[in-house]
Amino acid sequence: MTMLRFGLSQSHIRRGLLSSASSRSPRLLNSTRLAPSLSYQSIAGMKVLAVLYSGGEAAQQEPRLLGTTENQLGIREWLEKKGHEFIVTDDKEGPNSVFQKNIVDAEVLITTPFHPGYLTRDLIDKAKNLKICITAGVGSDHIDLNAAVEKGIEVLEVSGSNVVSVAEHVIMSILLLVRNFVPAHEMIERGDWQVSQIARAAYDLEGKVVGTIGAGRIGYRVLQRLVPFNCKELLYYDYAALPEEAAKAVNARRIEDLKEFVSKCDVVTVNCPLHEGTRGLVNEELLKHFKKGAWLVNTARGAICDKDAVAAALKSGQLFGYSGDVWNVQPAPKDHPWRTMKNPLGGGNGMVPHYSGTTLDAQARYAAGTKSILENYLENKPQEPQNIIVGKKGYETKAYGQR
């Protein structure tokens, strides 16, 4: 297969330069609340549109849930004082959604991987005023980057804001599967007690071969956290080798062929970004090369794994367990096969909503990062290079191991 540099698409090799933001003439709007989609607008200068997830009662009780429509990344008052219009919504689907109605004249779009507003080429063509898109978190696969490049729209993320959060979730997910925790807990909830039914599918992580697809900021942290478990071997698959000292520090070995890589692993964890080279990477053909009964964890992006192929592999026993928090469509439909798929021999399904990178600690980091990106944009200051995905002149070169 053609190997792509994880953290870079093939076109992520051109360097763009930032240019100054456009001038703005503030105007005043009455403050309005748009029901029922938890959408708001306020004083206007430039229009800033944010698509976030609704926090409901939890967000009202916990103000540190900054990535919600209720708490609005903590930047409403700051933006209003500067005379800008700020619209926040969770309503993002269809032409009549708050997102699609307001994207036509928004200058800034803020969205999140956890409830993404999908900015397609068609919407970019309609967004005549759009100058900058900011991911409150990490990732840009919800944006048509090629279309953004053509229109000169900057795309930025809060790089590194949730890498620790996700790496910890990966370790938890691996342990949930290997120790057969989910079926054990479900047994207790049912009021049953049959140790043998759980122990028959429970193992130690020690002595297993664990490999990561992608050894970037998250993948490498996963390797670091696996070291104390005394695994038989730690492997990684990536286009470029880790620096020698970094690989030696975690005693990880690189496998350059993906099929060979998965064939050696008891546990495979996916830690690479979604782009044209990784969409559907884990498919029916690749799954045939997995060890029979391997465990698979995906906290990167759902579309990296073929949903039907994974469900079939779990049912057949080719996979013993699958866990993660990312889905090919978010929110996932109620009939999504990953909600209920099982291994008949007792292997686990550890799927949860997409929350690994939106812990309270991560939200504090990506909210602060979003504000910093906005400040730089408003004041015509250079952005932090590691945050830039698309600059004014095209794709920016990104540091090794962005994901």
**Is position 217 annotated in a ligand binding site?**
yes
330 catalytic residue (yes or no): yes
Tracing tokens 């429509």 back to the chain, one arrives at 69
**Is position 275 annotated in a ligand binding site?**
yes
**Is position 355 annotated in a ligand binding site?**
yes
**Is position 115 annotated in a ligand binding site?**
no
Q: For residues 392 and 154, what is the distance between their CA atoms, to the nearest angstrom? A: 6
Catalytic residue among 5, 301, 365, 403: 301
Q: How far is CA 354 from CA 186, 331, 332, 336, 375, in A?
A: 21, 9, 10, 14, 28
**Is position 157 annotated in a ligand binding site?**
no
162 catalytic residue (yes or no): yes
Q: For residues 306 and 270, what is the distance between their CA atoms, to the nearest angstrom? A: 13
Extract the tokens encoding 301: 């992006």
Query: 105 and 130 in contact (C-beta within 8 Å)?
Result: no
Q: Which residues of 185-213 are buried (b: 16+ CB within 10 A; e: fewer)?
A: eeeeeeeeeeeeebeebbeebeebbbbbb
**Is position 238 annotated in a ligand binding site?**
yes
Extract the tokens encoding 102: 């307001």
Q: At what angle do helices 163-178 and 181-190 cross, to 10 degrees?
A: 70
Residue type, 125: D
Catalytic residue among 162, 180, 343, 402: 162
Q: For residues 394 and 14, what is the distance between their CA atoms, to the nearest angstrom? A: 7
142 catalytic residue (yes or no): no
Extract the tokens encoding 306: 């073929």
The residue among 215, 273, 210, 275 whose CA lies nearest residue 240 is 215
Q: For residues 240 and 214, what is the distance between their CA atoms, to the nearest angstrom? A: 10
Catalytic residue among 115, 221, 354, 403: 354
**Is position 276 annotated in a ligand binding site?**
yes
Helix or strand holding residue 193 (H, E) = none
- For 72, other C-beta atoms within 10 Å of its C-beta total 21
354 catalytic residue (yes or no): yes
The residue among 231, 217, 115 whose CA lies nearest residue 165 is 217
Q: For residues 271 and 269, what is the distance between their CA atoms, to the nearest angstrom? A: 6
**Is position 325 annotated in a ligand binding site?**
yes
**Is position 162 annotated in a ligand binding site?**
yes
Beta bridge partners of 233: 209
**Is position 14 annotated in a ligand binding site?**
no
**Is position 125 annotated in a ligand binding site?**
no
Catalytic residue among 330, 363, 387, 402: 330
**Is position 54 annotated in a ligand binding site?**
no
Binding-site entries for NAD(+): 217-218, 238, 273-277, 299, 325, 354-357
> Which residues are documented as binding site?
138, 162, 217-218, 238, 273-277, 299, 325, 354-357
- Residue ranges of the annotated binding site for substrate are 138, 162
- Catalytic center residues: 162, 301, 330, 354
